[in-house]
């Protein structure tokens, strides 16, 4: 059975999609700090909780203790964020996929730090697909290789953002704006707001790290 770990962080609730769409047999639910309470409010009892819980009220903390199977509590003064600790733990469980919710919106420093967790050396080289998901975006990081994409009707746009100084020999096949063996430098906007022409397409590149963002207008 495919094991999926869903991590819900404490970002703004308005950015968190309908979590019931991600429930199913084999799914594990992990709350991070106030994200634990997001889960409870959505009618999902967390399997695990991580955090210092300095952002919850006494009443919310009592509810968290009542509804959560296992709580990993940390002191606020630590080197890693609560989300980083939860993600490190999730990877050790060797799931097929990790979905991260509640990690976007709100403070820009949190948003950037959470997105860049995807390219931390040990995380990037796992065999597990890791995706940041909110109501408007799905974000993944990619090493060199060839990847197939299926059209997601409500996420029209596909952007590729270089996270290294240069992406070499990028190919986009089946896209509205195709590319062939193109080198793309960091900081350029060449690969922003592309679209698939049909139900599927492929992208490939030979070196560098790409962040892929699938998104829609609100």
> Is 147 in the same domain as 89?
no
Examine the fold and report which residue of 93, 110, 135 is the final residue of a domain before the chain moves on.
135
With vertex at residue 73, the alpha carbon angle to CA 31 and CA 127, rounded to the nearest 5 degrees, is 50
> Is 28 in the same domain as 67?
yes
Nearest to 110 by CA among 22, 6, 32, 211: 32
Examine the fold and report which residue of 82, 116, 135 is the final residue of a domain before the chain moves on.
135
- Structural domain count, the chain: 2
Examine the fold and report which residue of 135, 163, 181 is the final residue of a domain before the chain moves on.
135
> Is 12 in the same domain as 75?
yes
List, for residues 53-98, the tens digit of each pLDDT value. 877 788 888 888 888 878 887 766 566 788 999 999 999 999 999 9
Q: What is the pTM of this model?
A: 0.91
User: Which residues span the domain enclosing 189?
Assistant: 142-215
Distance in angstroms (rounded) separating the CA atoms of residues 143 and 210: 7
Q: Which regions of the chain are under pLDDT 70?
A: 1-2, 75-79
């Amino acid at each position: 059975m495919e094991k999926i770990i869903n991590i819900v962080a404490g970002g703004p609730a308005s950015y968190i999609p309908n979590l019931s769409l991600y429930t199913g047999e084999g799914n594990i639910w992990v709350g991070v700090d106030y994200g634990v309470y997001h889960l409870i409010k959505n009618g999902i009892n967390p399997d695990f909780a991580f955090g210092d819980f300095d952002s919850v009220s006494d009443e919310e903390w009592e509810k968290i203790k009542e509804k959560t199977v296992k709580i990993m509590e940390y002191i606020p003064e630590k080197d890693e964020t609560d989300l980083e600790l939860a993600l490190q733990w999730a990877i050790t469980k060797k799931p097929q996929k990790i979905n991260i919710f509640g990690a976007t919106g709100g403070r820009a420093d949190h948003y950037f730090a959470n997105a860049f967790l995807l390219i931390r050396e040990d995380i990037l080289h796992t065999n597990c697909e890791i995706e940041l998901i909110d109501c408007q975006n799905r974000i993944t990081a990619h090493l060199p290789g060839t990847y197939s994409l299926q059209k997601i009707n409500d996420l029209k746009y596909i952007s590729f953002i270089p996270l290294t100084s240069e992406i070499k020999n990028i190919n986009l096949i089946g896209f509205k704006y195709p590319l062939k063996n193109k080198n793309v430098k960091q900081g350029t906007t060449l690969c922003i707001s592309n679209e698939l022409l049909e139900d599927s397409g492929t992208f490939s590149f030979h070196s560098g790290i790409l962040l892929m963002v699938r998104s829609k207008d609100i």
